[in-house]
Amino acid sequence: MKSILTSVFALALTWSAAVAGDITLLNVSYDPTRELYTEYNAAFAKHWQAKTGDKVTIKQSHGGSGKQARAVIDGLQADVVTLALAYDLDAIAQRSRLFPADWQKRLPSNSAPYTSTINFLVRKGNPKGIKDWDDLVKPGVSVVTPNPKTSGGARWNYLAAWGFALKKNGNDPAKAKDFLARLFKNVPVLDTGARGATTTFAQRGIGDVLITWENEAFLAVKEFGADKYEIITPSWSILAEPPVAVVDKVAKKRGTEAVAKAYLEYLFSEEGQDIAGRNFYRPRDAKAAAKYEKQFPKVNLFTVDELFGGWQSAQKTHFNDGGTFDQIQNK
C-alpha cells in the first residue's frame, strides 16, 4: 500500500512539473504601448528560448496607467509593470509593497528604458491653425485629451500645458491654472486612456486637436495616413520617462523572477532599444538614438523634477482629490 501511495505521489509530481514547463509572464502596461510590446515580446521570447531553451509567452494588459496601477494593487497578478509614469509605480510600492520603494534604482536610467514627449495631432491642413499651446485655449477650438484621474498620458499632457503656461507667464501658478481652466473648457469628452482619446479624435471624428504622446501621434499618422493628420510640435513640452519594474512578490510566487528580470533588462539591449525607436519611442542608447534622430522633431523639454518638484509633489498639487484639476473642473 505504501509503495502504491508513493507511486501516486511521484506521478502527481511529475505531472505538475510537466505542466509547469511553459513560462507565462503578464506585462501590465499603459494604453499606447500595445504595438511596442507586441513586437518586443516576440523578440524577447525568441531571445530567451535561444539563451535558455525555455519557451516564454508574454501576456499583455493595457489601459489607463492609473487604472492599471490600481488593478495591480487590487490583486492583478502582474509579473512586470511598464506604466506611463513613476508615480503609478510608487503607488504600487507604497500601497501593496509588491516591490521595494527604491525600485527606480534597480535598472539603468531610473528604470525608464525609453522616453517620449507630448505633441499635438491635428487634421490635415490644420484647419484651426494650431501651432502652440496658446491656440488650444481659443474659443471654438475643440481639444481631445484623456482624463488625468485615470490616464498617465493625460497627466503628462496636463503638466506639459501647465509648464508652458508657467514659462509664458513668469512662473505665475494662478495664470497657469487659469490657462488650464480655459483649455479644459474646450475639452468635450474625457476618455479614460490615451488610446481611447485617439479613438475619439481619429475614428469618431471629434475635436480639432488631440494632445497625445509623441509615439501615439506618429502611430496615428502611420495607421490612418499622412493625408489625414499632421503632427504639430509645440514650442515647449515635457520629457516623459515611462518606467518599468518587476513585481517581485508576484514573480516570486509564480516562479518567474529570473525571466521577468531578464525581460525588463532586455529593453535596454541593442535590439530592445531598436524596437523602441521603431515604435516611435526615443531610445536611451546613444547608438539607437542616433539611428532614429531624424524621426523626432527638435523640441524644448522641461522635466517634472525641474518644474513640479517630482511626481509626488505634482500628483498632490494637481491630481489628488481637491487638486488643481478638480478645482478647474468644478468651476
Partner 1 sequence: MKISKYVTLAALAGVITLPVSLSAQSSPDAQQKLLQKIEELEQKLKVLERKQELKDEETTAKAKTTPSIVLGEKGFGFTSADEAFALRLRGVLQLDSRTFFRDHGIAGNDGFLVRRARPIVEGTVFRDFDFQFVPDFGGTTAQIFDAFVNYRAFPELQLKVGKFKSPVGLEQLTVDVETLFNERALPTALTPNRDLGVQLHGEAFSGRVSYAGGVFNGSGDARNSTNLDTDDTKEFAGRIFFQPFKPEADSFLRGLGFGLGGSYGSEHNNTSLPATTGGTLGGYATDGQQQFFAYNPATGVVNANGEHWRLSPQGYYYYGPFGLFGEYVISNQRLSRTGAAPLSSVRLENTGWEVTGSYLLTGETAAYKGGVNPTHPFSLSEGGWGAWQLVARYAELNVDEAAFPNFANPATSASGAQAWSVGLNWYLNRNITVKTSFSHTTFDFVNGGGTGTRAAATAPGIVARQAEDALFTRVQLSF
Nearest in space to 152 (alpha carbons), one of 214, 264, 68: 68
Is residue 20 near partner 1 by the rule CB under 8 A?
A: no
Piece in contact with partner 1 (CB under 8 A), picked from 10-18, 116-124, 162-170, 279-287: 10-18
Name which position in 100, 173, 188, 255 contacts partner 1 (CB under 8 A): 188
Nearest 5 degrees, angle CA 294-CA 113-CA 267? 100
Name which position in 19, 20, 50, 174 contacts partner 1 (CB under 8 A): 19
Q: Work out how close the CB of 75 gets to partner 1 at its nearest, in angstroms, rounded to a whole number.
A: 9
Q: Work out how close the CB of 223 gets to partner 1 at its nearest, in angstroms, rounded to a whole number.
A: 19
Nearer to partner 1, 195 or 282 (CB): 195
Query: d(Cα 191, Cα 146) in Å, to the nearest integer?
Result: 4
Enter the C-alpha cell of residue 313. 509633489
Between helices 173-185 and 152-168, what is the axis angle to 10°? Answer: 130
Is residue 101 near partner 1 by the rule CB under 8 A?
A: no
Contact 151, 64 (CB under 8 A): yes
Contact 87, 312 (CB under 8 A): yes
Is residue 206 near partner 1 by the rule CB under 8 A?
A: yes
Query: d(Cα 55, Cα 260) in Å, to the nearest integer?
Result: 13
Name which position in 15, 49, 125, 287 contacts partner 1 (CB under 8 A): 15
Nearer to partner 1, 142 or 169 (CB): 142
What are the backbone dihedrals phi and psi of residue 231, each rounded to the nearest 5 degrees, phi first? -100, 130
Is residue 139 near partner 1 by the rule CB under 8 A?
A: no
Is residue 191 near partner 1 by the rule CB under 8 A?
A: yes
Nearer to partner 1, 67 or 282 (CB): 67
Query: d(Cα 252, Cα 78) in Å, to the nearest integer?
Result: 11
- Which residue(s) pair with 80 in the sheet? 27, 246
By the criterion CB under 8 A, which residues form the site for partner 1? 1, 4-5, 8, 12, 15-16, 19, 142, 188-189, 191-192, 196, 200, 204-206
